[in-house]
Structure 1
């Protein structure tokens, strides 16, 4: 049960005066609240301003700079209403001792203007001044107050990100009400840390962010760069600490659930290594050794295997499976898409056969009878290894003795799903693989509950990929170059642009490009996109891999895991629309065979600064870890890890890219807290539980109770 002390901030926003159902729905959109839940007051409080407006400049009308926000004390002289049929604006003229100004209103309500700016009234008006034909004017002033109410005018005003249907004034009003509801909370931070950093209390920090004063503007220069203010740093640290504490609790819970010390002598591993056409890289060998050590220990394995595109993660996973099968248990490999599941199945089959590992695949495409038979065989222990998609594992699939789960493409799979999956057997070990190299700060953030193995080098025999950028105006040259390559029997991909509006547009782009290429290059072209049925996708992939098609036109469905070693050319259209990690993933579809490969990045000029930086990094390097660091710098963490799933942090205040030093401190703090007070019952314990609730880490508190 959440402590009653937090009730005021966990009340729905509709409990605030002036917030009806429509405004609550607009706030849910703005605050990114999922599903049917109405936003809480806490969600609103964590929506921080992006900058501030400084209204302290009072130069007088004649000295007001062009485009500046100023505050003027004026007397209203006359109203000039437009003729009835005219679309001209309503103008109100006023003066001070330095000159005259016009206040301009479009689509104005005459009665309201006459009441708000009556002739002869002395008013304080604040807004942006523009000079037009040598005369100053202010269009739709931001604030109009009587001189005697001057104190009510905010001199320094926060500016919030908004959404359609929600005005700044409505949000400001709701925020003022929300701030008045922050309860007095006990301090959860270490006193020495607060003194050293000069941090305010939690409630003082929230109030300072939402009610910036002159000192705040002096500190931050009045713009958006308030990441360094003590209030912002304090709140970021709180969020990091809640995240790291939750991950540490999940980790401890996984560790405490008794594991099984697996006993194996390596005979299956030897058979697989003999069947492999190459020897393991140093990185692969080291990762296998770490995994075997984990499996042999009586605690459960929870390990992240990070490897660049084509670094050979699948082989490492297979050797982990071999050890578990040899120890008498079963294993499952979960893939994010059916294409990838089928591919894993096809690529592992010869090695499983060589080692005598009984393997089966379970996908949504299988008929009811085949699925029933496969599940019965799993339950009876007649299958050693099952490959399938995430959804199939989360249903009612039962194992006789599940010992290891390998999760491919971890970023589509959160902490909660890890916990659910682990319940499918006794002491299940878990190996998580990602082909998106993730910067170290994000590994700490998203996978702080895991040990990490990193594959840095590529297997022997992999060819370098030459990357070239080409403007779209030269598309004809690219098509002619493709024709020559296809005539020589080479295989190529053509990836269609990411269209932001909808999946349908992506599909239209792919179908259009396919039709154009068929017209120019003939019928040797296959098409794959997300709206096809599984059978259509499989037929297109087979035609490209084994059959008559030399060119595969595709949307980004091929981003993850499509493996056709003969393919040596990839064309990515409108490359400027893709993120770095995605470009790197797509480029990794070639260079898998013995032939030198080429990646052509087609871009529409002129390109923006960020897109230009991305394209030049792609030309310079194929080191996925360096690319990931650059991607983090250019885009921020949310996009790098793809779709945010439950269990991913999705920070509202903190930023792992720019505040990595705070994240490190929070990680050490969380570890120390759990070492000295494992049940959070000590002096800081109850306050730390409040922190976990405030930042939505309730899952971790349930683990505390269970433990």
Structure 2
């Protein structure tokens, strides 16, 4: 007999176990039994008098009444035309394209099961073309086959059901047969054979979920749930098994997060309570505008967090242009008032430089410590990037390590070993989805003496993992829902270039009209254009190679920023002042271009995604995004947020060659229909799914969630959270709950636990 922890090589033999380990990294019985069916095939059900839908996959059992071998008309070979009497009144027409190979098994008079796709060739008349088949024993013969005669999935399933005495064809009379996620080397029927073999050896399991909890929610015992998810007898079996196993997934995640919350609560941070007479109060007094009610509320929430000895771990989300930077600056100044330093991590040098300019401008004499005319409570705000001149970089490093700089703004350069802080009290991460967890952790580790700095992460469009962690209750969240006064609405339109090429010409005319009215515009491209085949977002945008096979594999051609810049200067936008900005320009050139655009001496900025976040030019009112289908939902929303920041109505045009009715066009239409960043992030989550919530993957390709949906199962997640919190508060190490501890470890391995501790 077996338990969930038993090794597969002991239960299945080395050959089968090695195949499962190579294909799916399965080592134990639990690994295999937690590999749930993707769907269920209704095998072995005779056809009713109803006509099946065109394209439906059906399985029929009957007797072959005719089997005629005919030569093909236009090529060598033969067809086997078969009539299968299912007892429904009209024989099913079946065609095999390799007639010579199957004629010895598929012949008149034998009973057979056939499984394939329905194809209507005229109204009321349908057939199966080249189905999988299995020759069955006669009804008065034993149900056991000693030899499998057949082909396709049915034959594979039969071989998977083969025991020492042969194949029990009664298995094919089941209403539901599981179909598993599989590989070319390990097919679904191979997995089914292994699952059945393990289930036959499985002992009744000690259920880690207490009986009162199961009774309250009407949940199956774990042993029964694992059996029914793989070998259900009825549709209700599948639903009940999924309900139990879905709750297990939610509980495993919540146990991990409850343990993590308990550990975080044991960490220590420097308390930074607000001061009525410090730099934060002086900054608030000199603001030339009134904060929104939402900004004041969030400032109060974060201020209260910073006053505690437990490190803040808060997500600040808000629409593009909702004033997140002002809120973050106020929080940083409160930390500076307490004698600590702050680090602001930006994803690009353009944004880091923009933050440096805008924070110094907002602070004025409050950012001029050590200079003539500095205010009484002034601090220093310094910039540190990888491409700075050596002298400027040395000065910035010195200001950070001596504590002269209260706020240090930078890119990945802040994470390098050479960067040290005198007393780091807070880390602010702008557009946190652009950084990996390990990068954020490396910056937080620069605090001294085992003290954890407070952490504030900001985003306008949370990525799926951020939404997942927020839904699971792992992040404290503050949301800005109001836009500051004076912001203009943004209209968005999809421009289908293939169907309406003239609309693109109209886009350039619209830019010209706006510039003539004294305003500015962006033109955004997905790649730079030096034929490296990669855009700045990392996608492959290379031009198709010659040859039919290469052309089929390459994505559609996209417009490069270098080409578009030259074309517009010489053509549609001739006479306007056109600037160029992309990530490979030297830092001083990028800064010079942005300064010129800010000053209004550049009318149109042709650029890549370096302007995605943080760039603030209120006079820009039009954005044209070329090859918009190449960008993700979050990117499009961030890019669009560069306009609409002033008093004039703004327009965003999404130019695409995507096919009408396709998923790419539907995604663009959804982006154009709303400016609600969180709504768009949920759309992104629905399309990409949650991803590996407890690991570093964010692509949706690797998932720690098999059945649980963070969008559809909120009630289950909430109930699991309450139970997990109660258990962990009473038993932090789960020493008294070994079954729950094993459930938690099954959901997340040691590497992911370490990852979560950092995130």
Q: Which residue of 1 aligns with 2:170?
A: 151
Q: What is the CA-CA distance between 1:668 and the residue it aligns to?
A: 1.5
Q: Which residue of 1 aligns with 2:206?
A: 186
Q: Which moved more, 1:361-370 or 1:447-456?
A: 361-370
Q: Which residue of 2 aligns with 1:223?
A: none
CA contact (8 A) 2:692 2:703 kept: no
CA contact (8 A) 1:12 1:40 kept: no
Q: What is the CA-CA distance between 1:256 and the residue it aligns to?
A: 0.7
Q: Within the alignment, does 1:673 sit opposite 2:664 as a pair?
A: no
**CA–CA distance in 1 between the matches of 2:585 and 2:203?**
54
1:502 to 540, 543, 546: 540
Q: What is the CA-CA distance between 1:616 and the residue it aligns to?
A: 6.5
1:73 to 62, 87, 94: 62
Q: What is the CA-CA distance between 1:294 and the residue it aligns to?
A: 1.7
Q: Which moved more, 1:488-497 or 1:11-20?
A: 11-20
2:40 to 18, 35, 52: 52
Q: Within the alignment, does 1:491 sit opposite 2:512 as a pair?
A: no
Q: Which residue of 2 aligns with 1:655?
A: 709
Q: What is the CA-CA distance between 1:605 and the residue it aligns to?
A: 8.4
Q: Which residue of 1 aligns with 2:166?
A: none
**CA–CA distance in 2 between the matches of 1:391 and 1:336?**
10
Question: Quick one: structure 1 residues 399 and 50, their matched pair in 2 at CA, closer, same or farther if it must change by over 3 Å?
Answer: same
Counterparts of 1:107-506 in structure 2, within 5 Å, are 108=98, 110=100, 113=102, 116-117=105-106, 121-130=110-119, 132=121, 137-147=127-137, 148=143, 149=145, 150-153=169-172, 155-160=175-180, 167-170=187-190, 172-173=192-193, 185-213=205-233, 215-216=234-235, 219=236, 229-266=239-276, 267-355=278-366, 356-367=378-389, 370-371=392-393, 373-390=395-412, 392-393=414-415, 395=417, 397-413=419-435, 421-425=443-447, 426-436=451-461, 442=467, 445=470, 448-472=473-497, 473=500, 474-496=503-525, 502-504=540-542
CA contact (8 A) 2:693 2:705 kept: no
Q: What is the CA-CA distance between 1:487 and the residue it aligns to?
A: 2.8
Q: What is the CA-CA distance between 1:39 and the residue it aligns to?
A: 5.9
Q: What is the CA-CA distance between 1:350 and the residue it aligns to?
A: 2.4
The size of the alignment, in residue pairs, is: 677
Question: Quick one: structure 1 residues 130 and 618, their matched pair in 2 at CA, closer, same or farther if it must change by over 3 Å?
Answer: closer
Please give the secondary structure, in 2, of the residue aligned with 1:521.
coil
**CA–CA distance in 1 between the matches of 2:349 and 2:742?**
42
Q: What is the CA-CA distance between 1:447 and the residue it aligns to?
A: 6.5
Q: Within the alignment, does 1:517 sit opposite 2:568 as a pair?
A: yes
CA contact (8 A) 1:273 1:279 kept: no
CA RMSD of aligned residues (A): 4.5
Question: Quick one: structure 1 residues 47 and 559, their matched pair in 2 at CA, closer, same or farther if it must change by over 3 Å?
Answer: farther
Q: Which residue of 1 aligns with 2:597?
A: 544
Per-residue displacement from partner, 1:289-340 (whole Å, max 9, x unpaired)? 2222222222222222122211111111111111111211111111233332
**CA–CA distance in 2 between the matches of 1:485 and 1:646?**
39
More helix by share: 1
Per-residue displacement from partner, 1:595-629 (whole Å, max 9, x unpaired)? 33223344668743877876676566534345545
Question: Quick one: structure 1 residues 680 and 62, their matched pair in 2 at CA, closer, same or farther if it must change by over 3 Å?
Answer: closer
1:596 to 645, 649, 660: 649
CA contact (8 A) 2:114 2:134 kept: yes
1:93 to 82, 90, 94: 82
Q: Find the structure with the greater CA-based Rg.
A: 2
Q: What is the CA-CA distance between 1:567 and the residue it aligns to?
A: 1.0
Question: Quick one: structure 1 residues 652 and 516, their matched pair in 2 at CA, closer, same or farther if it must change by over 3 Å?
Answer: farther
Question: Quick one: structure 1 residues 343 and 63, their matched pair in 2 at CA, closer, same or farther if it must change by over 3 Å?
Answer: closer
**CA–CA distance in 1 between the matches of 2:704 and 2:317?**
21
Q: Within the alignment, does 1:8 sit opposite 2:10 as a pair?
A: no
Q: Which residue of 1 aligns with 2:550?
A: none
**CA–CA distance in 1 between the matches of 2:434 and 2:484?**
26
Q: Which residue of 2 aligns with 1:570?
A: 623
**CA–CA distance in 2 between the matches of 1:430 and 1:412?**
16
Q: What is the CA-CA distance between 1:695 and the residue it aligns to?
A: 0.9
Counterparts of 1:551-562 in structure 2, within 5 Å, are 551-562=604-615
Q: What is the CA-CA distance between 1:8 and the residue it aligns to?
A: 3.0
Question: Quick one: structure 1 residues 198 and 590, their matched pair in 2 at CA, closer, same or farther if it must change by over 3 Å?
Answer: same
Please give the secondary structure, in 2, of the residue aligned with 1:280.
coil
TM-score normalised per structure 2? 0.76
Q: What is the CA-CA distance between 1:694 and the residue it aligns to?
A: 0.9
Q: Which residue of 2 aligns with 1:698?
A: 750
**CA–CA distance in 2 between the matches of 1:531 and 1:344?**
20
Question: Quick one: structure 1 residues 364 and 183, their matched pair in 2 at CA, closer, same or farther if it must change by over 3 Å?
Answer: farther
Q: Which moved more, 1:354-363 or 1:97-106?
A: 97-106
CA contact (8 A) 1:411 1:434 kept: yes
Per-residue displacement from partner, 1:658-680 (whole Å, max 9, x unpaired)? 11111111221222122222221
**CA–CA distance in 1 between the matches of 2:473 and 2:313?**
11
CA contact (8 A) 1:56 1:70 kept: yes
**CA–CA distance in 1 between the matches of 2:464 and 2:113?**
52
Q: Within the alignment, does 1:17 sit opposite 2:70 as a pair?
A: no
CA contact (8 A) 1:334 1:393 kept: no
Question: Quick one: structure 1 residues 61 and 464, their matched pair in 2 at CA, closer, same or farther if it must change by over 3 Å?
Answer: closer
Q: What is the CA-CA distance between 1:122 and the residue it aligns to?
A: 3.8
**CA–CA distance in 1 between the matches of 2:10 and 2:396?**
49
Q: Which moved more, 1:298-307 or 1:490-499?
A: 490-499
Q: What is the CA-CA distance between 1:362 and the residue it aligns to?
A: 2.4
Q: What is the CA-CA distance between 1:144 and the residue it aligns to?
A: 1.0
Q: What is the CA-CA distance between 1:393 and the residue it aligns to?
A: 2.1
Q: Which moved more, 1:486-495 or 1:5-14?
A: 5-14
Per-residue displacement from partner, 1:450-501 (whole Å, max 9, x unpaired)? 3222211112222222344555412222221212222333211233479997
Q: Which moved more, 1:140-149 or 1:659-668?
A: 140-149
Segments of 5+ residues of structure 1 without an aligned counterpart are 29-37, 221-225
Q: Within the alignment, does 1:585 sit opposite 2:610 as a pair?
A: no
Q: Which moved more, 1:179-188 or 1:638-647?
A: 638-647
Per-residue displacement from partner, 1:10-58 (whole Å, max 9, x unpaired)? 99999661865xx977x46xxxxxxxxx565666655543432213431
Question: Quick one: structure 1 residues 337 and 241, their matched pair in 2 at CA, closer, same or farther if it must change by over 3 Å?
Answer: farther
Per-residue displacement from partner, 1:402-437 (whole Å, max 9, x unpaired)? 111112223345666665544322231111212226
